[in-house]
A and B are shown apart, each in its own frame.
Chain A
Amino acid sequence: MYDTTRTETAVSQQDIKISASNVQVFYGDKQAIKDVNVGILDKTVTAFIGPSGCGKSTFLRCINRMNDTIDSARIQGEIRLDGQDIYDRRVDPVQLRARVGMVFQKPNPFPKSIYDNVAYGPRIHGLARNKADLDGIVEAALRGAALWNEVKDRLAEPGTGLSGGQQQRLCIARAVATSPEVLLMDEPCSALDPIATSQVEELIDQLRERYSVVIVTHSMQQAARVSQKTAFFHLGNLVEYGDTDDIFTRPQDSRTEAYISGRIG
């Protein structure tokens, strides 16, 4: 088992945004995550890679407590966001999710206008004092998602009418609009064509300046392109975690090597 000390000695303690220790997740009797320990850095893109069913999405969904919506899911261990245990009973999951945004595999814009899609989070969290304020937040979020120029003249049109890549960037804008600290992305490009994918990847690179981004991906090329840190999951274990360059050029574990060279997966 890989030990996390290498990372923690390499970076100073304040840079760790999310730290997980001894996290185990069960769906009913089936154990999906086995004893994961990891420190995810602020202002960094961290990629989770691994074969299907290895638990990387499950672990991602622990970070904003989305697994709470699944009745049979049970989680043990500790996940801390800025030192605060997010599974503490005093933590409101609804508030947590405003701090930890999420973008899903399939673009899922609400059946509302483009403007209302982006304004939804700020509205329910009361982030805008007035209409002008809200307009500003929406514009900033759409600019942040590199979508503003394409949609600024049709903000009242339904978000579902955009193309797939635009819809995904709309969903990113929607997540960004609540000014989260962490952005979780669950295979955000798997439903997109190559051009839309490269646009979203470019966007992810820019998002790194302001957020801690965690991205689950099936594409090792994508992980290599966008991330600075990579975590390799296999059969519910976190096998290896380190700098992306190291993982792809000098993997420590034989399973990691087997995966990135295409022998398992």
Chain B
Amino acid sequence: MTGLAFALLLSASLAAYMINRRAALALRDRGERLHSLGMFHGLYGLLLILVPAVVVTILWIMLQNGVINTLTMSSLPDGALADMANPQLVLSEIQSLAQGRVFGTPEPWKLEAAERMNDLRANSAWLMVAVVAALSAILLLVSRRQVAAAFRARQAVERIVMGLMITCSLVAVIVTFGIVFSLVFESIRFFQMVPLTEFLFGTRWEPQMPIRADQIAAEGAFGVLPVFLGTLVITFVAIAISVPIGLMSAIYLNEFADRRFRAVAKPILELLAGIPTVVYGFFAILTVAPALRAWGAALGIPVAPNTALAAGGVMAIMLIPFISSFADDALSAVPRSLRDGAIALGATRSETVLNVLFPAAIPGIVGGVLLAVSRAIGETMIVVMAAGLIAKMTLNPLDSVTTVTVQIVTLLIGDTAFDSPKTLAAFALGLMLFIVTLFINILALRIVRKYREQYD
């Protein structure tokens, strides 16, 4: 039925294109001066039908289930729901019956309701096709009547297309806000159970809670500091390793490497960015961590199996192409005239890079580094695999730490009750992560914008 509706509206809009275009051309052949080309009259008819009809169809599909469910439930015999604790369960059962999945022997009123539901479904589908057909026909007539020499179809098409583009950009914004709101609402529920001050300033993170009364477990402690400290340690390690390497490689590739080397090295460097993070995780846990442990043992330094250094170091490899390509862009954006100016003064190449190009490129580079920081903070897969699970108040990169992202994953995996602070804590952590990375991104963009030199 949905397919039929779409076929109808598509053919109606194509027909509108043909009819209106022909009508416009006929006007022209009669010697009238058209404001817009015939094609625009056709396009106007096409869009005038296509856009509203598609919107109506999609809305119909989205909303029909809710309406059908309400109608079915309200038509149940009086008293059928009286002994039911949860009407939602009855509805699910009726829905399964309507789709032909029968468990046991359902009461006759349920079977009746299922049948009624199927009838409603069928009617709804036919009604949708009818509405789409009627709408298309009306809009076809409307657009056909508008074809006239003075009608500004070209501008009208432009307005419709602009409206479509505005809608598309709004979708991204609205979805973002939706995500933030869902985080905020769940976090508010969490903060009703755990005070905000305890969450922000507590130094113990032990989210294990008894799910049933007879379970013996920790009573739960939700102090975010050790978790956040873990994120900071790993991020610091990742940035401390990736920034110098990324920067130096960018400078070398941009300023010193000959063209052939650059043509080979740059794609390889960018290949690093295409490696799935789960592969980096593998590398961290199977190669880097054991190697670190072996070196530690050789030197007599105690090294944990899941070190912040291993996770951060591998994350650094992931960030190198990111920083390097940002720095490369920033260096390339420095105008050639500055380079020539320094060289003509008798500066060597490295003096030119260090004293002139680098300061000119620094805003772009700082922006790139800050974006890399927010990526490191939000990175999940590598740390899930390579970092630890226990939250510890430590700054030692050779110790095992956990991160905000790791905790979110572990809190939401397995048997969870959605009203327990343990689960809701994940949303609070997510909200916090969102706020921190948001601020870092805003800061990065401001720095890039404020200190960008204006070269005309």
Q: Using CB atoms and an 8 Å cutoff, list the residues of chain A in contact with chain B.
A: 64, 66, 69, 71, 94-98, 101-102, 104, 106, 108-112, 120-121, 124-125, 160, 171, 174-175, 178
Q: How far is the CA of A104 from the CA of B344 in the complex (A)?
A: 9
Q: Are A108 and B341 in contact, with the CB atoms below 8 A?
A: yes
Residue among B335, B340, B344, B351 making CB contact with A124, cutoff 8 Å:
B351
Interface string of B255-269 (1 = CB under 8 A from A): 000010000000000
Closest residue to A125 on the B side, CB-wise?
B346
List 22 contacting pairs A-B, 8 Å CB cutoff, sorted by A: A94-B346, A94-B348, A95-B346, A97-B343, A97-B345, A104-B341, A108-B337, A108-B338, A108-B340, A110-B355, A110-B356, A111-B360, A120-B345, A120-B356, A124-B346, A124-B347, A160-B454, A171-B341, A175-B344, A175-B345, A178-B345, A178-B346
Check if B296 is an interface residue, CB within 8 A of chain A. no
Majority secondary structure, B binding face: helix
| With known contacts A108-B338, A110-B356, A112-B359, A174–B345 Cβ distance under 8 A | yes
Q: Are A66 and B344 in contact, with the CB atoms below 8 A?
A: yes
A10 CB → nearest B CB, Å: 31
- Please name all residues of chain A whose beta carbon is closer than 8 Å to the beta carbon of B359 when the two chains form the complex: 110-112
Closest residue to B339 on the A side, CB-wise?
A69
Residue among A66, A94, A121 making CB contact with B340, cutoff 8 Å:
A66
Q: Are A71 and B259 in contact, with the CB atoms below 8 A?
A: yes
A165 CB → nearest B CB, Å: 15
- Please name all residues of chain B whose beta carbon is closer than 8 Å to the beta carbon of A171 when the two chains form the complex: 341
A230 CB → nearest B CB, Å: 24
Q: Using CB atoms and an 8 Å cutoff, list the residues of chain B in contact with chain A.
A: 259, 335, 337-348, 351, 355-356, 359-360, 453-454
Q: How far is the CA of A120 from the CA of B356 in the complex (A)?
A: 10
- Please name all residues of chain B whose beta carbon is closer than 8 Å to the beta carbon of A120 when the two chains form the complex: 342, 345, 347, 355-356
List 4 additional A-B contacts (Cβ < 8 Å) besides A104-B344, A110-B355: A66-B340, A94-B346, A121-B345, A174-B341
Majority secondary structure, A binding face: helix
Q: Which of B335, B343, B351, B360 has the most CB of A within 10 A?
A: B343
Closest residue to B355 on the A side, CB-wise?
A120
Q: Are B335 and A108 in contact, with the CB atoms below 8 A?
A: yes
Closest residue to B453 on the A side, CB-wise?
A111
Q: How far is the CA of A110 from the CA of B334 in the complex (A)?
A: 10
| With known contacts A111-B453, A124-B351, A102–B344 Cβ distance under 8 A | yes
Q: How far is the CA of A124 from the CA of B337 in the complex (A)?
A: 19
- Please name all residues of chain B whose beta carbon is closer than 8 Å to the beta carbon of A95 when the two chains form the complex: 346
| With known contacts A110-B356, A111-B360, A160-B454, A69–B340 Cβ distance under 8 A | yes
Q: How far is the CA of A64 from the CA of B344 in the complex (A)?
A: 7
A66 CB → nearest B CB, Å: 6
Closest residue to B455 on the A side, CB-wise?
A160
- Please name all residues of chain A whose beta carbon is closer than 8 Å to the beta carbon of B346 when the two chains form the complex: 94-98, 121, 124-125, 178
- Please name all residues of chain A whose beta carbon is closer than 8 Å to the beta carbon of B337 when the two chains form the complex: 104, 106, 108
Closest residue to B338 on the A side, CB-wise?
A108
- Please name all residues of chain B whose beta carbon is closer than 8 Å to the beta carbon of A108 when the two chains form the complex: 335, 337-338, 340-341
- Please name all residues of chain B whose beta carbon is closer than 8 Å to the beta carbon of A97 when the two chains form the complex: 343-346
B259 CB → nearest A CB, Å: 7
